[in-house]
Structure 1
Amino acid sequence: MRTARFIGGLLTGLVALALAVAIFVYWFGFATDMAAASGLGALGYAFLWLSFGANLLLWTVIGLMRLGEDSVRAAVRPLGSGRRRAVGGKADDRVLVGAGTARAERGGDAAEGEFARAPAERPEVTGPAGAASLAVVIPAHDEEPVIGGAIASAMGLFDRWDIYVVSDSSGDSTAAIAAGTGVNVLELLTNRGKAGAIEAVLEEFALTDNYDGVLILDADTELDPGYVEGARRQLADPSVAAVAGFVVSEWKPRQRTFVGRMISAYRDRLYFMLQYLMRFGQTWSRTNTAFIVPGFASVYRSEALREIDVNPRGLVIEDFNMTFEVHHKRLGRVSMNPDTKAYSQDPFTFRDYYRQVSRWTLGFWQTVRRHRVWPSLFWVCLSLYILEVVLVSVVLLATAVVGLFVLAGTVGGEPFLSLPFFGETFTAVTAFLPLLAIAIGLFVPDYMLTCLMAAIRRRPSYLLYGLLFLPIRLVDAYLTLRMIPRAWTTESDGRWSSPDRVSGG
């Protein structure tokens, strides 16, 4: 069976790779002919920029330079830092749910429980001798279907007393499930949002005083077995303030509808390109310009985390802001390597995808608004990225609108063209951009990337789902532009509502 799967995967990869090469040859020849025929020179190559992006190409080159430097480096630095003890704290509108004990109650708006052990009896923070001691923080709001999987994943790599779940006013059994596993649980009685929940658990357990670093883990995320070793190896460099997790889309197609599988395949392609072709170069020690330490599974050194304003007013999400804080306050550099993998659950429905991307995009622009511009290489690179994202979004949407107009004229025929203004406009537009050029320019390069991902992942189904990736890109472009004015007019409280989840059985 394994041999059959290996051969099938290899054949899938070869077919997808051959298809990608064939598509590129066809597209490149078409773009060259178009540029020569129109007399517009480099305009025919604009679709290459739209599909791949100058930033992606630039950081891919820099990433290759980093790979070359890393390859010739043989020195391995010893891991550092000692062991410390974990203690508890006070509560206000919080409930300390004992590890495996029943919830205690008291009057008013708050309740206070106990740890599974008295503070004096709690064991020392664990880890290999000389390794950085890490606490695991899992903020959760109504995550009953998945919280058990995230905790089990963490317990496979950490002792239970080093795991801290903070239930942000959950209305389901999130806190009870967490308490039943024996980990530390803090339950908030008022919904503070993810950033507020992280802030509360850091304060309650004095985590930055008692650990060398804090791993923030989303409730729908499971850690790869090599995650902790990779994170500690990166933290051995004292210049590292944060270790960015390497996200991998959880691929469980049997649990998903067609739309859910399409979203997961699209995210897998997006994550691959952003991480291998962009962030790998941005997190080189010689550049240090990564603008996002993703909040799904990343580690912050405690010394840096104490200086970060985790929960400033007015932001809808926390991870962009925390990353900007690292750069703005010069707390150290962001590190990322593929050895800190974690598996994240993508949205199952288009509604949840739309809401998630809206939050992420709004959070990015709100963070830009909050921190503004300061002289740095970080902001030079960020400015180039912002400029390209905005321009690509505008051009992509405008080209799609022109394409729909040309399609309507082509399909509608004389009744459409006889309308005032439409006939002349159609003639002028098609002389410049015929329907075939628009279709090939928008679709072919995008689909070529999908073929490459199908070859890399050896998943032939990507060739089917990739046919519908372009509409998702258009949605992303629309939200990128839509959220810009909202970021300057909307004050968010950070409260969250969890999307549909499926237990990772």
Structure 2
Amino acid sequence: MTLSTAALLLVIGAFGYGFLRPEAVTQRGEQPHLPRYQPVAPGQVAILIACRNGATTIAGAVAAARATGAPVYVISDASTDGTAREAAMAGAAVLELTRNVGKPAALHEGYVRFGLGGLYRAVVILDDDVLVAPDFLARALDHLSERVAIVVGHNVTWWPHERRWNPWLAKRAYSYWNYQAVVRRLQSHFNVMNCISGSNSLYRTELLDVLLPQQPPYIVDDTYWVLETHRRGLGRVVYAPRAVAHLQDPTNGRDWYRQNLRWLWGTFQGVIGHRVGRRNTRFDHAYLLLMLHWLLYVAGAPLTLWLLATAGPGLGTGLLFLLAGHAFWVGIAAWRLRRPRLLLFLPVIVLGDQLYRVIMVHALVKAIRQPTVDRCVWDSPARFAVPAGSNA
């Protein structure tokens, strides 16, 4: 058996495990120092959204959030459009800031000013362009056992009919499915999740009381939160595959590149800043394996191209084999997402996969040159209006 065959079998086995046991988050091997939290009822949860210049999407996000039955609070981070007005008209309690402080600082300000830590036992933090399913809260609470501090929602790309041929939405829809079907499910099971969905996750207020007062030193705030949760032993971080949230994703190449670069830059900042891999814990061991996977993933691109370039008469066969492997996986994604047209984007997905490796290298260099930031502030991709309750 060749090394490549063994790797393929391991990947298939990992997928099979995640597919057959989507909610297997047992207490086996639980670390004894993790705190035991009290149960949380649906009426003890609030939804918090920090937003800057999100007038296009905030009303839909608030309406969808209110459909879960939870009260919604919005912080307008010095918005210069009608964000505050739209949020208030949609039924949210609104706090307007006069100075742009960035998402984590705005969340902390709203959390304190609204008194959420004293009024509720848990808070769902959403982005202003996210439409959660009506049962999002109920599905997330199903996973909030006594050892759990964070419940991560299930990302689904908002891919409306009028944008059905957008290649960047196709690539992101596949990427979300691929990551969550294998890596996130396995990480959740073993409590070694290295990143979370900052746009749609549920946090215990005991955790937010500790994390929100701190200014994250990384460009991605939720990277800091999850690393601190693991480092301090504040509780488990688990994935709720049926707590569905539809996200607006980049619709052009420039925004797609920049968003991925920021996410990966924040990831590598976390690896550097938290000195990941230097402690004898399950989380550190798992993260080292993940980084080894990244190394092989990036190195695999030039190696594959070299093998194809030197294949001679076998070039056509090699290309067909490469495409067949991708087509098999994309076909499963198309079936699970109920998006048959995803198969038509196979060339885009393959090319995007190669470009993603370039972004990883770019992000690593950027993190080495700038391992911290003064403020967690960035420009979001262009948004488009989506009415709440629309069929995704």
Q: Same fold (TM over 0.5)?
A: yes
Equivalents in 2 of 1:311, 1:58: separation in Å?
40
Equivalents in 1 of 2:191, 2:109: separation in Å?
29
SS at match of 1:244: strand
Aligned to 1:449: 329
Q: Specify whether residues 306 and 468 from structure 1 end up closer, same or farther in structure 2 by C-alpha distance, changes over 3 A only.
A: same
Aligned to 1:497: 379
Aligned to 1:200: 109
Partners of 2:104 and 2:212 within 8 A in 1: no
Shift of 1:176: 2.1
Q: From 106, 131, 136, give the equivalent of 2:47.
A: 136
Q: Specify whether residues 389 and 176 from structure 1 end up closer, same or farther in structure 2 by C-alpha distance, changes over 3 A only.
A: same
Partners of 2:249 and 2:381 within 8 A in 1: no
* Same amino acid, percent of matched pairs: 28
SS at match of 2:210: coil
Shift of 1:381: 0.8
Superposed, which structure 2 residues align to 1:318-337 within 5 Å? 318-337=221-240
Equivalents in 1 of 2:187, 2:384: separation in Å?
34
Aligned to 1:377: 282
Q: Specify whether residues 230 and 477 from structure 1 end up closer, same or farther in structure 2 by C-alpha distance, changes over 3 A only.
A: same
Aligned to 1:440: 320
Shift of 1:398: 4.5
Aligned to 1:471: 351
Aligned to 1:394: 299
Equivalents in 2 of 1:208, 1:262: separation in Å?
42
Comparing 484-493 with 298-307, greater Cα deviation is found at 484-493
Question: Do residues 238 (structure 1) and 146 (structure 2) align?
Answer: yes
Residues 384-427 of structure 1: CA deviation (Å, up to 9, x unaligned): 01111122112214434675xx3xxxxxxxxxxxxxxxxxxxxx
Residues 96-150 of structure 1: CA deviation (Å, up to 9, x unaligned): xxxxxxxxxxxxxxxxxxxxxxxxxxxxxxxxxx546111111112212111110
Aligned to 1:299: 202
Shift of 1:308: 2.1
Residue identity opposite 1:476 in structure 2: Y
Q: Specify whether residues 465 and 60 from structure 1 end up closer, same or farther in structure 2 by C-alpha distance, changes over 3 A only.
A: closer
Q: From 345, 353, 357, give the equivalent of 2:256.
A: 353
Aligned to 2:76: 167
Shift of 1:222: 0.6
Q: TM-score, normalised by structure 2?
A: 0.86
Aligned to 1:12: none
Residues 282-338 of structure 1: CA deviation (Å, up to 9, x unaligned): 212xx2111122111100011122222565353111112111111111111112222
Shift of 1:199: 2.0
Residue identity opposite 2:269 in structure 1: Q
SS at match of 1:283: helix
Equivalents in 1 of 2:318, 2:215: separation in Å?
44
Q: Specify whether residues 53 and 134 from structure 1 end up closer, same or farther in structure 2 by C-alpha distance, changes over 3 A only.
A: farther
Shift of 1:221: 0.5
Equivalents in 2 of 1:228, 1:378: separation in Å?
27
Residue identity opposite 2:2 in structure 1: A
Partners of 2:216 and 2:224 within 8 A in 1: no
Q: Specify whether residues 489 and 60 from structure 1 end up closer, same or farther in structure 2 by C-alpha distance, changes over 3 A only.
A: same
Q: Specify whether residues 132 and 291 from structure 1 end up closer, same or farther in structure 2 by C-alpha distance, changes over 3 A only.
A: farther
Shift of 1:442: 3.6
Shift of 1:342: 0.9
Q: TM-score, normalised by structure 1?
A: 0.68
Residue identity opposite 1:475 in structure 2: L
Equivalents in 1 of 2:268, 2:244: separation in Å?
27
Q: Specify whether residues 330 and 453 from structure 1 end up closer, same or farther in structure 2 by C-alpha distance, changes over 3 A only.
A: same
Aligned to 1:247: 155
Aligned to 1:42: 2
Partners of 1:59 and 1:282 within 8 A in 2: no
Q: From 143, 167, 173, give the equivalent of 1:268.
A: 173
Equivalents in 1 of 2:150, 2:178: separation in Å?
21
Equivalents in 1 of 2:61, 2:160: separation in Å?
16
Q: Which 5+ residue runs of structure 2 have no aligned equivalent?
A: 27-36, 388-392
Q: Specify whether residues 67 and 147 from structure 1 end up closer, same or farther in structure 2 by C-alpha distance, changes over 3 A only.
A: closer
Residue identity opposite 2:348 in structure 1: L
Shift of 1:68: 9.3
SS at match of 2:340: coil
Aligned to 2:97: 188
Q: Specify whether residues 314 and 145 from structure 1 end up closer, same or farther in structure 2 by C-alpha distance, changes over 3 A only.
A: same
Residue identity opposite 1:299 in structure 2: L
Partners of 1:309 and 1:325 within 8 A in 2: no
SS at match of 1:245: strand
Partners of 2:157 and 2:247 within 8 A in 1: yes
Partners of 1:142 and 1:498 within 8 A in 2: no
Q: Specify whether residues 304 and 59 from structure 1 end up closer, same or farther in structure 2 by C-alpha distance, changes over 3 A only.
A: farther
SS at match of 1:192: coil
Largest Rg, 1 or 2: 1
Equivalents in 2 of 1:310, 1:397: separation in Å?
44
Equivalents in 2 of 1:381, 1:59: separation in Å?
14
Equivalents in 1 of 2:329, 2:80: separation in Å?
42
Shift of 1:276: 2.5
Question: Do residues 460 (structure 1) and 340 (structure 2) align?
Answer: yes
Partners of 2:68 and 2:133 within 8 A in 1: no
Comparing 290-299 with 193-202, greater Cα deviation is found at 193-202
Q: Specify whether residues 390 and 53 from structure 1 end up closer, same or farther in structure 2 by C-alpha distance, changes over 3 A only.
A: farther
Shift of 1:447: 2.1
Equivalents in 2 of 1:58, 1:384: separation in Å?
17
Partners of 1:397 and 1:477 within 8 A in 2: no
Pairwise CA RMSD: 2.7
* Equivalences, count: 373
Comparing 435-444 with 472-481, greater Cα deviation is found at 435-444
